[in-house]
Structure formats: C-alpha cells, structure tokens
C-alpha cells in the first residue's frame, strides 16, 4: 500500500507540522508513505516538493498572489485577509508520478494557491480513495477557515461576516455551491483531529454523508520529553528562581490567538497579586511586533521566531506552565508538545483543547473570553497546585493517546477501509 500525504508545505504552521509528523510516524511503522508539498524547506526523509527551480517558485508565488488579489475586493477588512480562501487558483498535480503511483491520497491543508477547487476535481477524478484530515473548518464552509459563531455552513453559506458586502449570493455562497457539486460523488473519507471539529464537520451540509474518523495528530514522545528544568534554564539564560510562563504562536498578534485576553489576565495578576509580580517572568516566542512586547506587565524574555526543534523542547521544559489564550483552535500542536514535555497548560476551553487537558489535573481550562478566569487559572496552577503531579499527568496523557505508534495504527485502519470500499 502506497500512501501519499499532500500538504502545501512541510513546515511553518500547525497543519504542516502535523502532516510531517504523521509521515514520519507512518514510515517508522513500516508503511510506504511520502509527503508531497508545494514548498519543501526541511530535509526530512520522505518529503518531496512538486517542483524545483526559480521559475517554479515564481509561478507558485503568482498563484498565491492572484488568489489574494481576487479576494481583496471582497474582504471586509485587512484582519480577515488570510481567514478566507476562495480556492480559485491552484496547480494540477493529478498527473504527478507520485500521485499516479499512490493507492491512497491523503489530503491535509491545501490552500493559498496550492490546490484549487478545480484541481481538487482533477485529483478526485482519478478514482483513488481520498482521506482528508481537517486542520480547520475550510473544507465544509464557503471559504472561511474558522466560522466563529456563524452557523450558515450547516445548510448553505451566504451573508458571510468575512465579506465586505454579505448577500444571499455572495462569494461564500458561490464557493459553497461549487464545493457541494465537487464533493457529491467524491471518494472522501474524513478525519478530524478533535471531537469538536468532527461535530462541526459531521453536521455540515457538505460532508455529513461522508464516512468520519477521529484521530489525533501524533508526536514523537522520545524527542518531546521531560528534561532537567534547571539545566535547560541555564542553557537558555533564563532565571532559575522565578516562575516562568511560556507563550508562543506562529503569529502572536493574530486576534484568534487571544493576545488581548492574555494581556488583560497578566495585568490583573500584576496589579492585584504582588507575589505573582515579584516571582513570575514571561517567555514569549513567535512573530510579534515590538510594541506588543513592551506592553507585557511582567519582565519578558522575547525569543522571536524559533525554528529549531530542540530549542522548542528546551523552552517547554524551562517553563512552569504554557499559556494558551486562543479563541479558536482544533487540536493545537503546542498543547501536545507542552504536555509531552510535562508542562501543564492553562488555556481557554475551546475547540479540541478540553479533549487534551483534564481540568486541574494536567492543566487548567478557563472560561472562554474571560480574562479573570484565565488569570485565576495561571495563579492557581503556578502557586496553589501540585505542579509535579500535573506534569506527570500531562506526560501520561500523551503516552496514552498521541504516540506515533498509536496514531499510525489508527490511520492504517482508515486507509485499509478506504481501499476496501473502493475495490
């Protein structure tokens, strides 16, 4: 059985990380798997770019730019520019040798000029079983990646809140109609990483009649593991006598990441709890503007963007807790990474996060968009909880649910079912 995973990139973003890890997990279990990407930036075994060279890269950028330009006249404002993908531009990879040789095609995140709805149609027309792991809501909406409080996707998208001129036949309605026609006879098998996303997807008009499976992303627990806290702090130049809160994201200033509520929670702690102010410092990694870094009410160690995996493992181990104030998320890789390293997570009870964290046992689940609840969670976890016990519980959860062996076996079962149904 040849399995071909397809994702836009092999690094940079949660879906890329998840696809790369799954490819590694499958291969480590003896499964003939490969990952085909538009842009390859790592040197991982089994990862292949669709093409190479200056002209290829220029064409790829042109597709990305054209899709964005086409959406520009529709967008409500700049804040939603990358929150909606019309998928009107993409490359046809249906005749690529690796696609032709594959027994199972496994889609991941394919937006922003990589694959369009038209080129997806070319893939589906091959008649091969297609497994599609959803990393957000895009596959079953009229174009948005996270719908927020909007429920139009349950029946038919229209009057989209992301658009400048919401209407009955707006862009979301057009994309939704095209997807409905495309999916109707497509040999799709849907995998969701969280039960939350499965519920959303399974209730949607577009996918409710497809077979569904719930499988988490895998993580290498032999790499993401507990280390000596004092030794890694010394290595990173971080204080050994302070409580450290770790916070990070690919783009810290993305409104979906909840910076506003995190800042409010920290301010509450700083102004009302002298013991926290005196004994706590903040460690931040990820893309962040300089003004935001200056606004934190605690002494802050800013590391900008961190790409080295070992440094990331060291950061999780150096921290006492990892803060996740995200307002929308599926099954965050950062939560899994922190827990694998034995670091309790404090975050809002959103998306798939409650499936990962056991409240006050391996972390703390705060009330959504409630900065006081988040502040309470940070304070109680840092100063009133048994951090050593929480650390062990967090690590135990990853070993029981997210190891490469467990996840690869679950996917192998899906692949076999997909093949059996399409014989």
Does 224 fall in a domain?
Answer: no
Same domain, 266 and 339: yes
* DSSP labels, 142-193: SSBS--TT--GGGT---S-TTBSS--TTSHHHHHHHHHHHHHTT--EEEEES
- What confidence category does residue 76 fall into, taking pLDDT thresholds of 50, 70 and 90? very high
Distance CA(27)–CA(280), nearest Å, equals: 42
pLDDT at res. 97: 97
pLDDT, tens digit (0-9, with 9 covering 90-100), for 143-172? 999 998 899 999 999 999 999 999 999 999
How far is CA 281 from each of CA 108, 238, 341, 376, rounded to the nearest angstrom? 37, 9, 20, 17
Average pLDDT on 61-71 reads: 94
Does 271 fall in a domain?
Answer: yes
pLDDT at 284 over 80: yes
Angle between helix 404-421 and helix 14-28 axes, rounded to 10 deg? 90
Same domain, 310 and 352: yes
Distance CA(57)–CA(209), nearest Å, equals: 38
pLDDT at res. 251: 67
Same domain, 109 and 211: yes
Q: In terms of C-beta distances under 8 Å and separation of at least 24 residues, what long-range contacts does 176-182 make, across chains too?
A: 176/141, 176/142, 176/143, 176/206, 178/117, 179/117, 179/139, 179/140, 179/142, 179/206, 180/205, 180/206, 182/117, 182/120, 182/121, 182/124
pLDDT at res. 158: 96
> Three-class SS of residue 53?
coil
Average pLDDT on 43-66 reads: 93
The burial of 303, by beta-carbon neighbours within 10 Å (0-12 exposed, 13-18 middle, 19 or more buried), is given as middle
pLDDT, tens digit (0-9, with 9 covering 90-100), for 322-346? 999 998 888 888 999 999 999 999 9
CATH number, domain containing residue 201: 3.40.50.2000
Distance CA(189)–CA(133), nearest Å, equals: 9
Residue pair 349/365 in contact (Cβ under 8 Å)? The answer is yes
Domain that holds residue 70: 2-218+403-421
Same domain, 407 and 393: no
- What confidence category does residue 108 fall into, taking pLDDT thresholds of 50, 70 and 90? very high
Same domain, 8 and 120: yes
Residue pair 29/408 in contact (Cβ under 8 Å)? The answer is yes
Q: Based on the structure, what is the number of domains in the chain? A: 2
Token pair belonging to 285? 């990694």
Does 223 fall in a domain?
Answer: no
pLDDT at 250 over 70: no
- Under 8 Å CB-to-CB from 95, ≥6 apart: which residues? none
Same domain, 160 and 259: no
Does 6 fall in a domain?
Answer: yes
Does 266 fall in a domain?
Answer: yes
- Under 8 Å CB-to-CB from 322, ≥6 apart: which residues? 245, 246, 247, 316, 334, 335, 338, 343, 344, 345, 346
Same domain, 115 and 238: no
Same domain, 21 and 169: yes
pLDDT at 124 over 80: yes
- What share of the chain in percent tops pLDDT 70? 97
Residue 32 is inside which H or E element, if any? strand 32-39
Same domain, 213 and 236: no
Does 193 fall in a domain?
Answer: yes
Distance CA(242)–CA(299), nearest Å, equals: 11
Mean pLDDT for the chain overall: 93
Residue 105 is inside which H or E element, if any? strand 104-107
Same domain, 411 and 312: no
pLDDT at res. 410: 97
Same domain, 315 and 375: yes
> Three-class SS of residue 263?
helix
Angle between helix 333-340 and helix 14-28 axes, rounded to 10 deg? 60
Same domain, 146 and 252: no
Average pLDDT on 368-381 reads: 96
Q: Which of 12-16, 125-129, 198-202, 270-274 has the lowest mean pLDDT?
A: 12-16
């Amino acid at each position: 059985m040849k399995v071909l995973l397809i994702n836009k990139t092999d690094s940079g973003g949660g879906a890329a990380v998840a696809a790369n890890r799954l490819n590694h997990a499958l291969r480590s279990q003896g499964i003939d798997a490969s990952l085909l990407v538009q842009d390859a930036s790592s040197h991982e075994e089994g990862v292949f770019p669709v093409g190479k060279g200056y002209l290829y890269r220029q064409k790829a950028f042109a597709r990305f730019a054209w899709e964005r330009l086409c959406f520009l006249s529709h967008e409500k404002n700049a804040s939603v520019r990358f929150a909606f993908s019309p998928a009107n531009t993409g490359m046809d990879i249906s005749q690529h040798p690796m696609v032709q040789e594959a027994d199972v095609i496994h889609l991941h995140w394919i937006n922003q000029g990589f694959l369009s709805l038209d080129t997806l149609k070319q893939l589906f027309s091959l008649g091969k079983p297609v497994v599609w792991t959803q990393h957000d809501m895009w596959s079953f909406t009229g174009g948005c990646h996270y719908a927020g409080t909007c429920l139009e996707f349950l029946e038919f998208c229209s009057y989209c809140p992301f658009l400048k001129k919401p209407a009955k036949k707006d862009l979301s309605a057009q994309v939704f109609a095209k997807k409905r026609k495309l999916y109707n006879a497509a040999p799709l098998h849907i995998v969701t990483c969280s039960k939350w996303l499965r519920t959303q997807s399974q209730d949607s008009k577009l996918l409710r009649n497809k077979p569904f499976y719930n499988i988490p992303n895998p993580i290498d627990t032999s790499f993401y593991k507990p280390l000596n806290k004092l030794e890694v702090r010394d290595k990173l130049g971080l204080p050994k006598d302070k409580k450290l809160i770790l916070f990070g994201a690919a783009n810290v200033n993305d409104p979906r990441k909840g910076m506003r509520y995190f800042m409010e929670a920290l301010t509450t702690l700083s102004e009302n709890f002298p013991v926290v102010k005196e004994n706590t410092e903040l460690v931040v990694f990820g893309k962040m503007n300089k003004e935001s870094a200056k606004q934190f009410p605690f002494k802050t160690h800013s590391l900008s963007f961190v790409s080295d995996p070992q440094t990331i493992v060291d950061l999780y181990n150096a921290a006492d807790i990892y803060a996740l104030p995200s307002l929308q998320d599926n099954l965050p890789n950062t939560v899994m990474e922190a827990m694998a390293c034995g670091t309790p997570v404090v975050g809002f009870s959103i998306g798939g996060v409650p499936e990962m964290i056991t409240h006050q046992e391996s972390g703390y689940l705060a009330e959504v968009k409630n900065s006081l609840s988040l502040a309470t969670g940070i304070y109680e976890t840092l100063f009133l909880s048994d951090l050593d016990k929480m650390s062990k519980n967090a690590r135990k959860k990853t070993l029981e649910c997210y190891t490469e062996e467990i996840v690869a076996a679950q996917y192998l079962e899906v692949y076999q079912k997909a093949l059996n149904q399409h014989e």
